[in-house]
Structure 1
């Protein structure tokens, strides 16, 4: 979630490919195969082969499917800066869970950050000149899944699984579930009516998105393993800012002053969150 490959943004935002079971199924299939090959070549270590590991991580994998499915639907309807602002609101769920349920001490900057992120996400629907109810609906589902996924990820019971183990199980489960869901959701036959189905740009973008998505995930995990959490959060924030800025130049985006105010408020909230994490680390 640090950033998105341009090819993925092109397929979802420009071509409006609204068949997430197929698109995300392809993405996770390519990612799973590349991760498996990397494991066999000795580039990564995967240890999640026991049945107990798989069953323990299964609820998180279900949430992962929800994240990519809902995110794909939302991105096909919303401007990228708007989507990222709503995505960041998942931190409000995490902060609330830590404060109310785990009784963890939360720093004032982190609380203020959560309030700014919540205010930005809450005001966006009322100030978005390109408001799309379906897009916002799926964005809300996406951020709820992101929040719940990160809470599960930090659970003590799941700490024995490495990030690579978790992602490998996510890929395997996603491919199976999305393949099974392609027919019931209607995507399997509806895709035949997609106007760009036989265009080489569509095929090339789909292939590129699968490979670039994997390398983006892999580089993000390497970044997390080599850097302190605060430093990694700063780089991820920088990547989101670059992605939002480039998207406004490359894609058709209409932003009013009110919308820009919401986006800047969300950006300030995330910058404050990065500051609190760097200070904590």
Structure 2
């Protein structure tokens, strides 16, 4: 791996870690759970993907506000099961044994979590399921649709522009527009600074992700993403209130094994 690739990978990991921890702080510590106010020809053909992107950030914000970061990441990664199943059932693609085992481990880990989570939150798991369905559908759409004239950066810009417009108009019907006026930290600099930091970190995470995928092979990208998730999960346990029981740790390790197998299959395929 080149030094430039390593630098981009480390930058990506830093943005990934900072973005998740900052979002978790705003959503669960400050308890600001109104994400509609702060998210964000070839254009028309990309519209379904932008709609799914809105579902990803809205449902993801709702879920992350209620679930521990490691739990959220395991459920987020379960979207790979949808992609693997789609490839196998509809596109009849040959799937490696490692990838099949990875999908089964991820499915088992995500399926066992609700029954063993001492901090179980029904709404959190509900939004996490919506989030992972949107993630799976979004990745399938990106992978199997006809090649687009839009670059990866153009696609992400359209996603954020569409999400800002869509969620701004949705703020009133969902009740978030008026509920936010009662938010206790609305006029605190700590809140304003955290939200601005969250926005900037989200943008840099998107930018470094695109750069990472353009410079490195799929297997190397998967390895950096897995490394970033492990570091983020470990540090989140130290920074936020998380109750770890033996069954939960087992689920997290099983999910980690599934992700490691996915990285292995990607590297072997590349």
TM-score between the two structures when normalised by the length of structure 1: 0.88
Partner SS state of residue 230, structure 2: helix
Q: 2:245 aligns with which of 256, 270, 278?
A: 256
Counterpart of 2:115 in structure 1 is 126
Q: Is 1:62 the counterpart of 2:77 in the alignment?
A: no
What is the alpha-carbon root mean square deviation over aligned residues?
1.3
Q: Give the conservation status (yes or no) of the 8 Å contact 2:156–2:206.
A: no
Asked if 1:141 corresponds to 2:130, the answer is yes
Contact 1:153 1:159 in 2 (8 A): no
The answer to whether 1:267 aligns with 2:249 is: no
CA deviation profile, 1:47-68 (whole Å, cap 9, x unmatched): xxxxx11110000000000000
Shift of 1:200: 1.4
Q: What's the counterpart of residue 198 of structure 1?
A: 187
* 1:99 corresponds to: 88
Q: How many residues align?
A: 255
Q: 1:26-105 maps to which residues of 2 (within 5 A)?
A: 28=40, 52-105=41-94
- Equivalent of 1:157, from 139, 142, 146? 146
Residue of structure 1 equivalent to 2:24: 9
* Alignment gaps of 5+ in structure 1: 29-51
Partner of 1:19: 34
Segment drifting more, 13-22 vs 111-120: 13-22
State the TM-score, normalized to the length of structure 2: 0.92
Q: Distance in 1 between matches of 2:142 and 2:251?
A: 29
> Counterparts of 2:173 and 2:185 in 1: how far apart (Å)?
23
